[in-house]
């Protein structure tokens, strides 16, 4: 390449890589695959090695993450910097890595290595002061990270205390297990929110939530692999000893870690770990290879960006070209219509891919995808088949645009448009029936074991069951005939169906598949209202007043519960003997979901009133907001009373409180 061309290309690559860094590290929404990113970075690295005079300290080859920290969180400076890892893509890269280390150390090698799966999440630094977790931050640009302490506190696996004095910094990877990732994406898709591209982006997006409660609901986990300050106090001499010590201290460490000697053993172990990659409950994008002994690590040190004693041996990312044979439309449990590209089948990373979701109209437009197009396909984050891009150079002129249906492909009802989402409005649409029965019977809903997908399909096909209430009408001979099962297993299923009547309102509300009602919200509603009839009778305002319920959710739930078909279904369930009562009835939960603020002079000590209210399930708060249910004001009340009046929060005197208690507690007793 001519000098001037090379320089132009370097600048071009830097600009492109910076854009992708921003999409990936700041927005958690990359637009190219990691493999494509790695190729661009490798090209830049090669050019910079060829023309070292043009290396600048801010080049993406020299900086960690996005380089500059761009964030809405508070910034925290790491006491000791966090690094990235250099990549290796084959056995030669590992052999070269060992040779480089040997040369730098003036030792012949081979060396001992600790191998760990490289978990695809985001790295954090935990800072303990005298044994207590003081703060935790994302890696950021390696020097300064984002303070995400409240969100990290929601992760059960992070020890709050360690039996160590002084300063102790632990590095680890926060990740989202694959099942949690798939569930989260399914939920986001149902809500019409763009799903995350891969588990890594989902983990980053979940940890970097403004509301720690949202973060806590996502099921994040962590693996820990390094110590910054405080490492000397541990008395360990190697990475393998460090991992064992961290495990003793209560940190989760990568369970498949192993120790090998020399590049050839690294390769053999890597191949085994690659082969077992799909068995892992987390996404790994490679194997980290670290020279085990700390004495050697210290001697080797770091470049601006990464350690010289460690390298990430990446898993190959397969990308295949194939053709879009057609686009079909799938109807989800809530009636949402999703376009799916039907592909000429291709084998990618251990499985055949013949269908890939196209999410929505905007997504198709962004790809510029037509039926008949040749496309590049991969598994995003190693899990989800995804169209990377259209290859227009393969077009023949026979391609045609994707045409959206006007009617439901399952039941022919005319589709309605809700925001950007196409919906089938027919509550008895067979597409919804299958999903709604499967959901109703699922483990975390009514837990009807033995009611598998095949059986549901057969029950629907034969017309024995049209909705979940029909399950309770099934007879032994119906099931025995269908499944060609032994009578014993049919009997078991009937017992399961019978047992599901007593699962309680918590599970029933979840099982009904109401819009936006996940397990947590179902439990909250059950606790607050205690009986299905009371949930149905609740107004939008009453639903909205429940903690954690947004107005949009309240409206949607109310609407769904009042559709004639739903009311009919509820009646049928009642006839069948399904219990509508909440299970969790802690003694006196009559005030659950209500928030009180006490102000002014009360006849009884405030503490005592608080305790009484809390015993009945209420929350007592110190400040008035629009979520406050009641302000109890005695003489001399000031600013809180004023605030309540401004916000329209009901104000009670002590007598009013007593009346309220009688009313509410009375309701509970009459149950
Ligand atoms: N698709 C895109 O647009 C895009 C953009 C930017 C970066 N990326 C991808 O992000 C990666 C680069 O990010 P990076 O600089 O954070 O490097 P990296 O994530 O590839 O490697 C370093 C990180 O690995 C993590 N790690 C996981 N398990 C570990 C273990 N057992 N021991 C030690 N470390 C472990 C640590 O967090 C460490 O910071 C590349 O994979 C690149 O493809 C993609
Ligand atoms: Zn339909």
Tokens at residue 627, please? 């979520």
Give the residue from 611, 608, 594 showing the smallest Cα distance to 652. Answer: 594
84: domain CATH number? 3.30.470.30
Instruction: Flag whether 120 is marked binding.
Output: no
Instruction: Give 119 Cα–ligand 1 centroid separation in angstroms.
Output: 9
pLDDT value at residue 591: 84
pLDDT value at residue 671: 25
Which residue's alpha carbon is nearest to atom 23 within ligand 1? 84
In a domain, 65, yes or no: no
In a domain, 67, yes or no: no
Which residue's alpha carbon is nearest to atom 6 within ligand 1? 21
Instruction: Give 553 Cα–ligand 2 centroid separation in angstroms.
Output: 23
Residue with tokens 């196209």: 358
Do 187 and 243 reside in the same domain of the chain? yes
Do 443 and 568 reside in the same domain of the chain? no
Do 252 and 381 reside in the same domain of the chain? no
Burial call 28-57: b when 16+ CB within 10 Å, e when fewer: bebebbbbbbeebbeebbebbeeeeeeeee
What are the contacts of 191-198 at 24+ separation with CB within 8 A?
191/516, 192/336, 192/418, 192/419, 192/420, 192/421, 194/29, 194/359, 195/359, 196/28, 197/29, 197/30, 197/380, 197/381, 197/386, 198/120, 198/283, 198/380, 198/381, 198/382, 198/383, 198/384
User: Is the CB of 173 within 6 Å of ligand 1?
Assistant: yes
Ligand 1 nearest atom to the CA of residue 84, by list position? 22
pLDDT value at residue 343: 96
pLDDT value at residue 483: 60
Mutate to test the pocket of ligand 1, among 30, 86, 118 (most ligand atoms within 8 A of CB): 118
Question: What ligand has the least distance to the C-alpha of 426?
Answer: 2
Q: Categorise residue 99: left if φ over 0, alpha if ψ from -120 to 50, beta otherwise.
A: alpha
Q: Which residues contact 297 (CB under 8 A, 6 or more apart)?
A: 239, 290, 291, 307, 309
Do 337 and 241 reside in the same domain of the chain? no
Mutate to test the pocket of ligand 1, among 124, 222, 312, 314 (most ligand atoms within 8 A of CB): 312
Mutate to test the pocket of ligand 1, among 137, 288, 297, 389 (most ligand atoms within 8 A of CB): 288
46: domain CATH number? 1.10.287.610
Do 253 and 303 reside in the same domain of the chain? yes
Which residue's alpha carbon is nearest to atom 30 within ligand 1? 118
522: domain CATH number? 1.10.150.20
Ligand 1 nearest atom to the CA of residue 122, by list position? 37
User: How many domains does one find in the chain?
Assistant: 6
Would you say 189 and 338 are in contact if contact means Cβ atoms under 8 Å apart?
A: yes
Question: What ligand has the least distance to the C-alpha of 312?
Answer: 1
pTM over 0.80: no
Instruction: Give 84 Cα–ligand 1 centroid separation in angstroms.
Output: 7
Instruction: Give 556 Cα–ligand 1 centroid separation in angstroms.
Output: 40
Choose one of 454, 478, 502: the last residue of a domain. 502
User: Is the CB of 369 within 6 Å of ligand 1?
Assistant: no
Question: What ligand has the least distance to the C-alpha of 435?
Answer: 2
Instruction: Give 449 Cα–ligand 2 centroid separation in angstroms.
Output: 27
Instruction: Give 427 Cα–ligand 2 centroid separation in angstroms.
Output: 8
Q: Residue 110, preceding bond cis, omega within 30 degrees?
A: yes
Would you say 310 and 290 are in contact if contact means Cβ atoms under 8 Å apart?
A: yes
Do 482 and 523 reside in the same domain of the chain? no
In a domain, 70, yes or no: no
Question: What ligand has the least distance to the C-alpha of 310?
Answer: 1
Choose one of 359, 393, 421: the last residue of a domain. 421
pLDDT value at residue 585: 61
pLDDT value at residue 667: 37
How many helices (H) and strands (E) would you count in the chain? 24, 24
Which residue's alpha carbon is nearest to atom 15 within ligand 1? 84
Do 518 and 495 reside in the same domain of the chain? no
Sign of CA dihedral 631, 633, 639, 642: positive
Rg, the chain, Cα only: 29
What are the contacts of 37-44 at 24+ separation with CB within 8 A?
38/87, 38/314, 40/13, 40/16, 41/17, 42/87, 43/9, 43/13, 44/10, 44/13, 44/14, 44/17
Do 482 and 522 reside in the same domain of the chain? no
User: Is the CB of 98 within 6 Å of ligand 1?
Assistant: no
Question: What ligand has the least distance to the C-alpha of 425?
Answer: 2
Which residue's alpha carbon is nearest to atom 10 within ligand 1? 34
Instruction: Flag whether 85 is marked binding.
Output: yes
- Residue 417 is part of which domain span? 319-421
In a domain, 62, yes or no: no
Instruction: Flag whether 45 is marked binding.
Output: no
Do 92 and 226 reside in the same domain of the chain? yes
Q: Give the active site residues.
A: 118
Instruction: Flag whether 370 is marked binding.
Output: no
Task: For residues 627 and 139, give the distance between their C-alpha atoms in angstroms, rounded to a whole number.
Answer: 36
User: Is the CB of 169 within 6 Å of ligand 1?
Assistant: no
What are the contacts of 234-242 at 24+ separation with CB within 8 A?
236/294, 237/293, 237/294, 237/295, 238/112, 238/114, 238/292, 238/293, 238/294, 239/114, 239/290, 239/291, 239/292, 239/294, 239/297, 240/114, 240/292, 242/294
Which residue's alpha carbon is nearest to atom 28 within ligand 1? 118
Instruction: Flag whether 37 is marked binding.
Output: yes
User: Is the CB of 596 within 6 Å of ligand 1?
Assistant: no
In a domain, 434, yes or no: yes
Q: What interface predicted TM-score (ipTM) does this complex get?
A: 0.95
Classify burial at 366, counting beta carbons within 10 Å of its beta carbon; exposed 0-12, middle 13-18, buried 19 or more: exposed
Instruction: Give 64 Cα–ligand 1 centroid separation in angstroms.
Output: 9
Do 495 and 517 reside in the same domain of the chain? no
In a domain, 333, yes or no: yes
407: domain CATH number? 2.40.50.140
Give the residue from 303, 323, 321, 299 showing the smallest Cα distance to 311. Answer: 303
User: Is the CB of 434 within 6 Å of ligand 1?
Assistant: no
Tokens at residue 314, please? 């990446």
Strands 595-599 and 619-621: parallel
Instruction: Give 123 Cα–ligand 1 centroid separation in angstroms.
Output: 8
- Residues of the chain under the 50 pLDDT cut: 587, 666-671
Instruction: Flag whether 314 is marked binding.
Output: yes
């Amino acid at each position: 390449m001519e000098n001037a061309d090379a320089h132009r290309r370097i600048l071009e690559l830097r600009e492109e890589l910076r854009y992708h860094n921003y999409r990936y590290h700041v927005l958690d929404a990359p637009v190219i695959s990691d493999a494509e990113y790695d190729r661009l970075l490798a090209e830049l690295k090669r050019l910079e090695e060829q023309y070292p005079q043009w290396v600048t300290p801010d080049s993406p080859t020299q900086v960690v993450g996005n380089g500059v920290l761009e964030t809405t969180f508070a910034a925290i400076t790491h006491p000791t910097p966090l690094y990235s890892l250099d990549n290796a893509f084959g056995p030669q890269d590992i052999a070269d890595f060992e040779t480089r280390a040997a040369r730098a150390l003036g030792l012949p090698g081979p060396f001992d290595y600790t191998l760990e799966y490289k978990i695809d999440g985001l790295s954090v630094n935990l800072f303990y002061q005298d044994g207590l977790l003081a703060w935790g931050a994302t890696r950021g640009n390696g020097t300064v990270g984002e303070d995400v302490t409240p969100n990290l506190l929601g992760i059960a696996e992070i020890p709050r205390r360690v039996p160590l004095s002084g300063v102790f910094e632990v590095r680890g990877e926060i990740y989202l297990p694959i099942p949690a990732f798939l569930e989260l994406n399914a939920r986001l898709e149902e809500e019409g929110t763009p799903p995350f591209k891969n588990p890594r982006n989902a983990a980053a997006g979940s940890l970097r939530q403004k509301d720690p409660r949202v973060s806590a609901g996502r099921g994040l986990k962590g693996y820990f692999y390094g110590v910054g300050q405080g490492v000397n106090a541990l008395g360990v001499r190697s990475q393998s000893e460090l991992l064992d010590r961290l495990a003793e201290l209560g940190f989760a460490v990568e369970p498949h870690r192993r120790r090998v000697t020399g590049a050839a053993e690294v390769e053999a172990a890597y191949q085994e770990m690659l082969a077992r990659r799909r068995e892992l409950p987390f996404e790994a994008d490679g194997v980290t290879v670290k020279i085990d002994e700390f004495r050697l690590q210290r001697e080797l040190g770091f470049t601006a960006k990464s350690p010289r004693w460690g390298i990430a041996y990446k898993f190959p990312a397969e990308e295949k070209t194939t053709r879009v044979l057609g686009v079909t439309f799938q109807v989800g449990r809530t009636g949402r219509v999703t376009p799916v590209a039907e592909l000429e089948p291709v084998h990618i990373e251990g499985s055949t891919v013949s269908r890939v979701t196209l999410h929505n109209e905007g997504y198709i437009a962004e790809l510029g995808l037509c039926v008949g197009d040749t496309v590049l396909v991969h598994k995003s984050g190693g899990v989800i088949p995804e169209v990377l891009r259209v290859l227009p150079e393969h077009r023949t002129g026979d391609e045609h645009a994707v045409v959206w249906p006007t009617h439901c492909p399952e039941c022919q009802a005319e589709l309605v448009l809700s925001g950007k989402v196409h919906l089938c409005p027919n509550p008895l649409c067979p597409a919804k029936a299958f999903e709604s029965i499967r959901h109703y019977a699922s483990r975390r809903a009514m837990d009807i074991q033995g009611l598998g997908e095949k059986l549901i399909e057969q029950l629907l096909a034969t017309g024995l069951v049209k909705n979940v209430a029909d399950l309770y009408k099934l007879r032994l001979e119906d099931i025995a005939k269908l499944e060609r099962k032994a009578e014993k297993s049919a009997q078991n299923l009937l017992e399961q169906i019978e047992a599901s009547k007593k699962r309680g309102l918590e599970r029933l509300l979840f099982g009904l598949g109401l819009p936006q009602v996940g397990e947590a919200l179902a439990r909250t509603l059950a606790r607050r209202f205690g009986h299905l009839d009371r949930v149905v009778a609740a107004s939008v305002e009453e639903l909205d007043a429940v903690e954690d319920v947004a107005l949009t959710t309240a409206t949607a739930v109310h609407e769904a519960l009042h559709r004639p078909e739903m009311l009919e279904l509820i009646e049928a369930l009642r006839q069948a003997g399904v219990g509508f009562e909440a299970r969790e009835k802690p003694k006196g939960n009559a005030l659950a979901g209500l928030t009180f603020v006490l102000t002014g002079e009360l006849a009884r000590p405030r503490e005592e009133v608080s305790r009484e209210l809390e015993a009945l399930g209420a929350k007592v708060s110190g400040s008035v907001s629009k979520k406050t249910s009641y302000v109890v004001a005695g003489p001399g009340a000031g600013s809180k009373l004023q605030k309540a009046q401004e916000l329209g929060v009901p104000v009670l005197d002590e007598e009013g409180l007593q009346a309220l208690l009688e009313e509410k507690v009375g309701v509970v007793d009459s149950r």
